[in-house]
Amino acid sequence: METKEIQKLIDFIAQSGLDEVNIETSELKIKVKRYGTGPAAAPAPVAIPASAPAAPQASAPAATQTPPSTPAAVDAEAHYITIKSPMIGTFYRASSPETPALVNIGDEIKPGKPVCIIEAMKLFNEIESEVAGRIVKVLVENATPVEFDQPLFLVEPV
């Protein structure tokens, strides 16, 4: 498939209103997914039978509610620098399964030091740090997909 044909396909999907399209042939595999273009889905209304008592209904279970983050938790991470993914792909902490992770919690890093690898379209891209500091948290599991601009690491500046 040529670039012109791929562009026509993307234009068609953009105009069609589809959110996801998967095309697979013997020599090609394409997956196109649209994010954040439609309105947020509203919860479905709940019908109450006419025979139901007029007593107030119980609120939703606590497991579905997300508590607001406490100011102390926000302040604790406010001084950290976030290393974000520069591309969509699969996040790897090491260059191969047999080698140790490029960085671990507590490691000192400096600009230019490789911190992870992101595989995109069968190309392995070594992601280098642009900051100096100490790794305090790894935010992504090894071998999982990441999105563009997704936080990968929290770094305490030195």
Q: Mind listing the pLDDT tens digit for each residue in 3-51? A: 777 777 777 776 766 667 777 777 777 777 665 544 444 444 444 455 5
14: left (phi over 0), alpha (psi -120 to 50) or beta: alpha
Q: Mind listing the pLDDT tens digit for each residue in 129-152? A: 999 999 999 999 999 999 999 999
The answer to whether the predicted template modeling score (pTM) of the entire model surpasses 0.85 is: no
d(CA 9, CA 32) in angstroms, rounded, equals 9
pLDDT of 26: 72
What is 77-157's CATH number?
Answer: 2.40.50.100
pLDDT of 70: 53
Q: Where are the domains of the chain?
A: 3-33, 77-157
